[in-house]
Copies of this chain bind each other. A is one copy, B any other.
Amino acid sequence: MDTSTPASGHSEPPARRRTGGRSARVRAQVLDAVGVLLVEGGYDALTVDAVAERAGVHRTTVYRRWRDVGGLLADVLDAAAADDTWSPPDTGSLEGDLTALNQEVYDALAAGPSVSTALIAASFRSPEAAGALARFWADRYERCAAVVSRAVARGDLGAATDAHALLVTATAPLYHVLLLLRDEPDPGLPRRAATAAAAAARAGAFAARDTAPGGAGP
């Protein structure tokens, strides 16, 4: 769930198919520069020219490949989403897995200015960043469904548990408290939010609606 590590492992970026390693290197340099500038000065510091200069890449290269700031932000997030090395922690228990996930979110959001917070702030100004952020989170929540299916396999949760609803409930307080309420970071929050979501799940609060074949809906 960590958005702080823009990775460059996109499986098939159009340019890479043609030019291989050099193009991937340019992309990594440019996306790193976007992250550095975002953290330093936020969205307002982000211009194609500043990114090109910081990356040591010719500005026409950046304009041609990413077009504008929206294109750059979207690619940072798409690159992070495409990093398929990330998988949810496997600690052996539902509380443990959710706490570890929440700890990643907490570390990304509580650590002063970060790429994560800057990208989220930028998503309120760039529709392309907003779309890419939504895709990024959709991908991460999907991978995290493994946390729930492991709990089901252990007999800890019912098979019909709505994984997405459970995961959103576990993580949402972190975003709300740290990004919107802007409370002082509280190191106990990741575990408390995880414990509450697990308790709600065991009480059946995330029971998926009946999907049995032949079940007639209202």
A contacts, CB < 8 Å to B: 42, 120-121, 123-125, 130, 133-134, 137-138, 165, 168-169, 171-173, 175-177, 179-183, 192-193, 195-197, 199-200, 202-206
Contact = CB atoms under 8 A, between A and B. Distances in A.
A169 B168 CA distance: 11
A173 B120 CA distance: 16
Contacts of A200: 196-197, 199-200, 203, 205
A192 B165 contact: yes
Among A133, A173, A206, max chain B CB count under 10 A is at: A173
A143 to B, nearest CB: 15
Among A130, A203, A206, max chain B CB count under 10 A is at: A203
Given A121-B124, A173-B168, A203 B193 contact: no
Contact of A205 (B42, B121, B176, B199): B199
A74 to B, nearest CB: 14
A182 B121 contact: no
A78 B204 CA distance: 40
